[in-house]
């Protein structure tokens, strides 16, 4: 109406020539300019809203404004509902307005937008102040405009048009879009909702996005628990997260905090005494954020991440921004005991390893001679070497000069009972040499009936050794592959009591496998005895009778997916496998012949708690129930007198020294030159597999005894189950007991009884 009246006045002036001469022309020109500016402004905003000719870029639509989609970290949980960690590009967890400390809200308004409650998205007084002071007295953006920028990405690539390539025009377009978006936001949301959305989207530095993560990161508190000075620190970070970081720049952080407190005092949110009190308080940072590499079961979470990335891509989700809640089969207590068992064992054996190789390097060939050029070859695989290669354009002299230059660094150490990190100075080459002396381990526990993985330890220390030895690593299994050979033989007409002579067996090549003691007794051993004592000649004799093809077929049926050599050498476990797949194969025996694919994800929920996927383990019949039980019975022989795993009874005896009171079927494994030590063991309700060795096959124990699976790997299994059975709740959940014996078992498993019966028949005849 106002503009209509002005136009009417102008019309009357021109019609009746109330103003004449040059004044008429001036007034006419002013009114024409005014009309053109009004129409031009209207056309500009219309063109901007519709991105005319792609000049302006996208602007948030009504639908996007009402349903903002913010990046939200996905969280991964144990089976007992313990947060293991997060997957994120932006580490963020939202909170409601009611969960915000009043200090936080007041500090934000006092510092960033004191007229927040009065304006409708644009503060013209703030803009005028910013222009006249050239920004020295503060900017002109309101909290709502900053929200538009953070939440709706008004300065992101998707919002860029052709005009953005021109600095002045581009900034004008950006500011206009933010003004328009701010007004729309104010029309659709309450002031409290705007504050809530703003604090949930803003970046506080140190990979903390949103106030919930920031409060946890810097003060290990929930946002509702923040006091005045802590709230001031966080609000102060908004101006420049790195420069005002209380971790990186504590002096700057304190000065900025005090400025925020003074703003709160100025506008009546704090009294003089409150302000002075808070300014005297030290900034005590208590780092509490869950980092992507920390938390529970880090090796497991990295491997789970690879699986989840693939699943999310195939099902239209973004693991890093959709706020998924992922539930796993891992039990936090079992994981803790598994990590403790691995750590305690490695600490003990690392000391023994150092003493055995004192003054020498443990990377040796078959004749115990140090491998020449080993460290140089390993150095070429390192990230530092590859980076230097790019930097120096492949100039080896410059690369090696850098690799041999002393550098300050923090290294991991294990010395006696002391384990941790220490600062030192050494060359990158020396650090590679230093780390190659460490033993590594992989340990996994699963329920054979459900397939659920309950514990997963992939190495010595995730921060310093990030290569996973459960799923990622594949090594020769040695004698732990033999049960697959024996299962194939039993299913082809042989029985546990069938006898073979302990004598040399040769294959074309020639290849004549030797026993561990390098001798042959000439005795006739049952298959049960041959497996219990891990006599190589008996395994070779079986391979001679049934051939590699049949063994490979059974390996596939039992769940081995890695490539397998089609040679007779596989009878001694020469083809690489992972703990993950080998334990899955063993669990088939404990699950009445049903192979259950090891499963570690149980369900996935969206950010609103709706279940979008439940994972059901794949179960299929692999071998007969009778064959499975025969194998369990044979593998129990390894834990009995004369068996290679008899040492297992040194664990779990408790105060009364009464032993396990449990049936354990197991197999030890040791590869050539003591490079890899294995132990695979099962109870009726849990299966667990252990591997121990060096980062490379060249690293090995000098002593034949020290490098055996029964010595180097078995203790991890024993220590874990000792801890598990000492936990009343877990013991109740996984009670000791016997394997289920089929009712219609037709094969005699007691070879001594069978032989006695046979001798009795012969006497009668």
Is the pLDDT confidence value at 52 over 60?
Answer: no
Among 369-383, 611-625, 672-686, 690-704, the minimum mean pLDDT is found in: 690-704
Pairing of strands 325-328, 74-77: parallel
pLDDT of amino acid 293: 43
Which residues fall within 8 angstroms of residue 116, CB to CB, at 6 or more apart?
A: 109, 142, 143, 144, 191
pLDDT of amino acid 166: 56
62-66, 291-295, 372-376, 670-674: range with highest mean pLDDT: 372-376
Kindly state whether residue 127 falls inside one of the protein's structural domains.
yes
The torsion angles phi and psi of 738, rounded to 5 degrees, stand at -100, 155
Which of 605, 555, 602, 335 has its CA nearest to residue 451? 602
Six-digit token string for 510:
């020639």
pLDDT of amino acid 147: 82
Among 29-43, 65-79, 189-203, 328-342, the minimum mean pLDDT is found in: 29-43
Is the pLDDT confidence value at 563 over 90?
Answer: yes
CA dist list (Å): 287 to 86, 246, 249, 290: 16, 11, 15, 9
Whether residues 147 and 227 share a domain: the answer is yes
Count the domains in the chain: 2
Is the pLDDT confidence value at 54 over 70?
Answer: no
Cα–Cα–Cα angle for 653, 654, 655, rounded to 5 degrees: 125
DSSP 138-200: -----HHHHHHHHHS-TTSGGG--GGGGSHHHHHHHHHHHHHHHHHHHHHHS-HHHHHHHHHH
Mean pLDDT for 650-678 is 78
Among 112-121, 273-282, 637-646, the minimum mean pLDDT is found in: 112-121
Residue predicted with more confidence, 122 or 186: 186
- In 384-395, which positions are buried (b, 16+ CB within 10 angstroms) versus exposed (e)? bbeebeeeeeee
Q: What does DSSP assign to residue 53? A: G
Is the pLDDT confidence value at 412 over 80?
Answer: yes
Mean pLDDT for 644-657 is 73
What confidence category does residue 678 fall into, taking pLDDT thresholds of 50, 70 and 90? very high
Share of the chain above pLDDT 90, in %: 57
Is the pLDDT confidence value at 657 over 80?
Answer: no
Beta strands in 607-729 (DSSP E): 611-614, 619-621, 665-670, 676-682, 687-694
CATH code of the domain containing 253 = 1.10.3810.10
Query: Are the CB atoms for 619 and 584 separated by under 8 Å?
Result: no
Whether residues 116 and 10 share a domain: the answer is no
pLDDT of amino acid 321: 84
Whether residues 26 and 125 share a domain: the answer is no
pLDDT of amino acid 173: 62
Is the pLDDT confidence value at 56 over 80?
Answer: no
Which of 107, 98, 94 has its CA nearest to residue 143? 107
Mean pLDDT for 626-654 is 89
pLDDT of amino acid 187: 82
Give the Cα separation of 635 and 630 in Å (integer): 9
pLDDT of amino acid 53: 54
Range of the domain at 119: 90-280
Query: Are the CB atoms for 374 and 380 separated by under 8 Å?
Result: no
Quickly tell me which residue has 């699976």 as its tokens: 709
Give the Cα separation of 158 and 161 in Å (integer): 8
Residue predicted with more confidence, 425 or 49: 425
Three-state SS string over 381-423 comes to CCHHHHHHHHHCCCCHHHHHHHHCCCEEEEEEEEECCEEEEEE
Kindly state whether residue 165 falls inside one of the protein's structural domains.
yes
Kindly state whether residue 111 falls inside one of the protein's structural domains.
yes
Three-state SS string over 665-686 comes to EEEEEECHHHCEEEEEEECCCC
Is the pLDDT confidence value at 664 over 50?
Answer: yes
Give the Cα separation of 597 and 594 in Å (integer): 10
Query: Are the CB atoms for 750 and 727 separated by under 8 Å?
Result: no
pLDDT of amino acid 479: 96
pLDDT of amino acid 752: 81
Whether residues 44 and 136 share a domain: the answer is no
Is the pLDDT confidence value at 717 over 90?
Answer: yes
pLDDT of amino acid 660: 66
Bridge partners of 370, per DSSP, are: 364
pLDDT of amino acid 63: 56
CA dist list (Å): 246 to 252, 450, 716, 719: 8, 48, 43, 43
Whether residues 183 and 107 share a domain: the answer is yes
What confidence category does residue 69 fall into, taking pLDDT thresholds of 50, 70 and 90? low
pLDDT of amino acid 158: 52
Is the pLDDT confidence value at 291 over 60?
Answer: no
pLDDT of amino acid 765: 46
Is the pLDDT confidence value at 107 over 90?
Answer: yes
pTM of the model: 0.74
Q: What does DSSP assign to residue 501? A: E
Residue predicted with more confidence, 287 or 110: 110
Give the Cα separation of 364 and 375 in Å (integer): 12
Element (H, E) at 503: none
In terms of phi and psi (left: phi > 0; alpha: psi -120 to 50; beta: otherwise), the region of 621 is: beta
Give the Cα separation of 178 and 163 in Å (integer): 16
Among 280, 315, 336, identify where a domain stops. 280
Six-digit token string for 183:
């007004």
Query: Are the CB atoms for 392 and 399 separated by under 8 Å?
Result: yes
Six-digit token string for 566:
């089609």
Name the 3-class secondary structure at 765: coil
Bridge partners of 209, per DSSP, are: 203
Whether residues 198 and 259 share a domain: the answer is yes
Kindly state whether residue 533 falls inside one of the protein's structural domains.
no
CA quadruple 349, 352, 354, 360: dihedral sign: negative
What confidence category does residue 289 fall into, taking pLDDT thresholds of 50, 70 and 90? very low
Whether residues 143 and 36 share a domain: the answer is no
Kindly state whether residue 442 falls inside one of the protein's structural domains.
no
pLDDT of amino acid 737: 93
Is the pLDDT confidence value at 536 over 50?
Answer: yes
Cα distance between the two ends of the chain: 126
Query: Are the CB atoms for 185 and 162 separated by under 8 Å?
Result: no
What confidence category does residue 1 fall into, taking pLDDT thresholds of 50, 70 and 90? very low
Is the pLDDT confidence value at 531 over 60?
Answer: yes
Among 220-224, 334-338, 353-357, 445-449, the minimum mean pLDDT is found in: 353-357
Is the pLDDT confidence value at 540 over 90?
Answer: yes
Six-digit token string for 140:
């002109």
The torsion angles phi and psi of 715, rounded to 5 degrees, stand at -60, -30
Is the pLDDT confidence value at 275 over 90?
Answer: yes
Kindly state whether residue 44 falls inside one of the protein's structural domains.
yes
What confidence category does residue 593 fall into, taking pLDDT thresholds of 50, 70 and 90? very high
pLDDT of amino acid 233: 96
Give the Cα separation of 22 and 42 in Å (integer): 30
Which of 709, 552, 699 has its CA nearest to residue 646? 709
Whether residues 34 and 180 share a domain: the answer is no
CA quadruple 358, 361, 362, 365: dihedral sign: negative
Kindly state whether residue 236 falls inside one of the protein's structural domains.
yes
Which residues fall within 8 angstroms of residue 377, CB to CB, at 6 or more apart?
A: none
CA dist list (Å): 20 to 15, 24, 29, 196: 11, 5, 14, 60
Mean pLDDT for 487-498 is 95
What confidence category does residue 649 fall into, taking pLDDT thresholds of 50, 70 and 90? confident
Query: Are the CB atoms for 151 and 200 separated by under 8 Å?
Result: no
The side-by-side arrangement of strands in the sheet containing 611-614 is 83-87, 74-77, 325-328, 601-605, 611-614
Q: What does DSSP assign to residue 469? A: T
Which of 138, 151, 154, 143 has its CA nearest to residue 48? 154
Among 220, 255, 280, identify where a domain stops. 280
pLDDT of amino acid 22: 56
Name the 3-class secondary structure at 707: coil
Query: Are the CB atoms for 41 and 3 separated by under 8 Å?
Result: no
Give 727-757 pLDDT, tens digit per residue: 999 999 999 999 999 988 888 888 887 777 6
What confidence category does residue 655 fall into, taking pLDDT thresholds of 50, 70 and 90? very low
Which of 689, 691, 687, 682 has its CA nearest to residue 712? 691
Whether residues 31 and 108 share a domain: the answer is no
1-15, 46-60, 416-430, 685-699: range with highest mean pLDDT: 685-699
Among 223, 251, 280, identify where a domain stops. 280
Query: Are the CB atoms for 192 and 105 separated by under 8 Å?
Result: no
Kindly state whether residue 173 falls inside one of the protein's structural domains.
yes
Share of the chain above pLDDT 70, in %: 82
Whether residues 37 and 118 share a domain: the answer is no
Give the Cα separation of 588 and 586 in Å (integer): 5
Query: Are the CB atoms for 73 and 90 separated by under 8 Å?
Result: yes
Which of 668, 681, 673 has its CA nearest to residue 709? 668
Quickly tell me which residue has 């789970």 as its tokens: 304
Give the Cα separation of 333 and 456 in Å (integer): 12
What confidence category does residue 138 fall into, taking pLDDT thresholds of 50, 70 and 90? low
Whether residues 113 and 238 share a domain: the answer is yes
Give the Cα separation of 418 and 190 in Å (integer): 57
Whether residues 19 and 96 share a domain: the answer is no
What confidence category does residue 761 fall into, taking pLDDT thresholds of 50, 70 and 90? low
pLDDT of amino acid 672: 77
Six-digit token string for 353:
């390893």
pLDDT of amino acid 753: 79
pLDDT of amino acid 658: 45
Residue predicted with more confidence, 674 or 648: 648
Quickly tell me which residue has 């920390």 as its tokens: 294
Give the Cα separation of 161 and 47 in Å (integer): 12
Among 6-10, 321-325, 399-403, 576-580, the minimum mean pLDDT is found in: 6-10
Other Cβ atoms within 10 Å of 17 Cβ, number: 9
pLDDT of amino acid 235: 95
The mean pLDDT of the chain is: 86
Is the pLDDT confidence value at 170 over 70?
Answer: no
């Amino acid at each position: 109406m106002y503009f209509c009246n002005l136009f009417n006045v102008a019309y009357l002036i021109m019609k009746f020539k109330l103003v004449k001469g040059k004044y008429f022309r001036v007034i006419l020109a002013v009114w024409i300019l005014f009309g053109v500016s009004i129409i031009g402004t209207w056309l500009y905003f219309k063109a901007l809203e519709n991105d005319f000719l792609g000049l302006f870029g996208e602007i948030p639509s009504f639908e996007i404004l009402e349903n903002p989609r913010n990046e939200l970290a996905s969280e991964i949980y144990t089976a007992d509902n313990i947060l293991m960690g997060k997957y994120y590009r932006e580490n963020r967890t939202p909170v409601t307005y009611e969960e915000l400390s009043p200090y936080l809200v007041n500090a934000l308004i006092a510092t960033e937008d004191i007229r927040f409650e009065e304006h409708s998205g644009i503060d013209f007084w703030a803009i005028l102040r910013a222009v006249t002071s050239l920004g020295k007295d503060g900017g002109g953006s309101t909290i709502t405009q900053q929200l538009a920028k953070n939440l709706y990405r008004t300065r992101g690539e998707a919002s860029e048009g052709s005009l953005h390539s021109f600095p002045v025009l581009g900034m004008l377009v950006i500011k206009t879009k933010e003004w328009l978006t701010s007004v729309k936001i104010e029309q659709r949301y309450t002031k409290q909702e705007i504050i809530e959305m703003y604090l949930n989207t803003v970046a506080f530095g140190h990979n903390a996005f949103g106030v919930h993560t920031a409060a946890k990161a810097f003060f290990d508190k929930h946002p509702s628990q923040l006091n005045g000075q802590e709230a001031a620190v966080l609000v102060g970070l908004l101006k420049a997260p790195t420069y005002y970081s209380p971790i990186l720049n504590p002096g700057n952080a304190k000065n900025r905090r005090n400025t925020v407190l003074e703003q709160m005092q100025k506008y009546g949110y704090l009294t003089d005494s409150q302000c002075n009190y808070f300014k005297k308080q030290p900034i005590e940072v208590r780092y509490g954020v869950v980092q992507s590499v920390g938390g529970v079961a880090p090796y497991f979470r990295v491997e789970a991440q690879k699986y989840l990335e693939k699943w999310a891509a195939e099902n239209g989700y973004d693991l890093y921004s959709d706020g998924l809640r992922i539930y796993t089969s891992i039990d936090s207590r079992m994981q803790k005991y598994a990590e403790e068992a691995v750590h305690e064992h490695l600490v003990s054996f690392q000391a023994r390893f150092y003493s055995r190789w004192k003054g020498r390097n443990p990377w040796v060939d078959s004749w115990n001679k140090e491998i020449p050029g080993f460290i140089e070859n390993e150095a070429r695989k390192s990230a530092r070497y590859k980076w230097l290669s790019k930097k120096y354009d492949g100039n080896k002299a410059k690369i090696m000069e850098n690799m041999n230059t002393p550098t300050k660094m923090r290294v991991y150490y294990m010395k006696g009972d002391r384990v941790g990190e220490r600062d030192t100075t050494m060359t990158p080459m020396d650090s590679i040499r230093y780390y190659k002396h460490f033993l590594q381990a992989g340990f996994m526990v699963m329920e054979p009936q459900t397939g659920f993985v309950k514990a997963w330890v992939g190495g010595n220390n995730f921060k310093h050794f990030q290569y996973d030895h459960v799923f990622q690593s594949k090594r020769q299994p040695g004698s732990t592959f033999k049960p697959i050979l024996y299962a194939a033989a039993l299913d082809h007409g042989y029985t546990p009591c069938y006898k073979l002579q302990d004598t040399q067996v040769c294959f074309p090549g020639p290849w004549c496998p030797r026993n561990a003691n390098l001798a042959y007794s000439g005795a006739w051993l049952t298959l049960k005895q041959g497996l219990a004592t891990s006599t190589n000649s008996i395994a070779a004799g079986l391979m001679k009778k049934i051939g590699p093809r049949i063994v490979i077929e059974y390996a596939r049926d039992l769940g081995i997916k890695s490539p397998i050599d089609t040679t007779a050498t596989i009878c001694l476990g020469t083809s690489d496998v992972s703990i993950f797949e080998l334990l899955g194969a063993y669990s088939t025996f404990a699950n009445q012949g049903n192979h259950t694919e090891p499963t570690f994800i149980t369900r996935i929920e969206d950010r609103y708690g709706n279940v979008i996927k439940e994972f059901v383990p794949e179960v299929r019949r692999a071998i007969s129930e009778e064959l499975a039980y025969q194998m369990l019975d044979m593998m129990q022989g390894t834990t009995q007198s004369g068996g290679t795993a008899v040492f297992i009874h040194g664990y779990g005896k408790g105060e009364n020294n009464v032993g396990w009171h449990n049936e354990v079927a197991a197999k030890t494994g040791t590869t050539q030159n003591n490079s890899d030590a294995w132990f695979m063991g099962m109870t009726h309700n849990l299966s667990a597999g252990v591997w121990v060795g060096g980062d490379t096959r060249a690293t090995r124990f000098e002593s034949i005894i020290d490098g055996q699976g029964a010595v180097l790997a078995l203790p991890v299994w024993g220590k874990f189950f000792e801890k598990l059975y000492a936990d009343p709740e877990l013991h109740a959940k996984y009670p000791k007991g016997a394997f289920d014996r089929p009712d219609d078992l037709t094969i005699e498993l007691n070879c001594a009884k069978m032989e006695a019966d046979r001798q009795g028949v012969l006497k009668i005849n």
